[in-house]
Amino acid sequence: RMNMRFRQYKFKAYLNATHHITIGGKPGEKHPHTWEICLDVLKTREEFVRFSELEEMVERFISVYQDKDLNETPPFHLVNPTLENCSDFFFEKFQQILSAHGWIVLMMTVSETPTRSYVISNVHDSNPEETTRALDAVADEVLEKIMEARVE
């Protein structure tokens, strides 16, 4: 069972940045946000969890955007930096970065305000068996990468 192979964790990070959204070709007013980024992740039970390493990887990635105008920071100089577009990009990057170190990203929630969040999930509540198969496949891929790295 999946429960036996993994332990689940939740991490939060904060991104302070400004941006404006372009709607119908017209740029809106530039405004700041403190975005709360919450990552739900899995780690195999056999491994010792070094929380500081995960936090450093997340912070290192976020630092590129910290205290910046997103509209002037790639890829958002070309992509409208909506909450959804930023979150989709960050989720993809976090998956790449963290999976290389044996973490599986289940879900990411990005809150633009305390009352407004965008959620991206690898977990499908409607079909638990499909979710378990998908997570097992991701886990096998992550473990394979770890083993390859140890061999090299």
57-67, pLDDT tens digit by residue? 999 999 999 99
pLDDT of residue 147: 60
pLDDT of residue 54: 84
Q: What local confidence, expressed as pLDDT, does residue 65 receive?
A: 97
Cα separation, 69 vs 76, in Å, equals: 9
User: For residues 20 and 4, what is the distance between their CA atoms, to the nearest angstrom?
Assistant: 45
Conformational region of residue 54, where left means phi above 0, alpha means psi within -120 to 50, and beta covers everything else: alpha
What is the token pair recorded at 138? 């991701």
pTM beyond 0.85: the answer is: no
Q: How confident is the model at residue 108 (pLDDT cuts 50, 70, 90)?
A: very high
What is the spatial distance between Cα 137 and Cα 152, in angstroms, rounded to a whole number? 23
Q: Provide the pLDDT for residue 1.
A: 41
Strands 6-19 and 31-44, how do they pair?
A: antiparallel
Q: What is the pLDDT of residues 75-85, one digit of tens each?
A: 999 999 999 99
- What pLDDT is stored for residue 113 in this prediction? 86
pLDDT given at position 63: 96
Tell me the average pLDDT of the chain: 84
What's the half-sphere exposure (Cβ side, CA atoms, 13 Å) at 72?
A: 7
Residues in the chain: 152
C-alpha to C-alpha distances, 124 to 6, 74, 97, 120, 127, nearest whole angstrom: 18, 31, 23, 11, 6
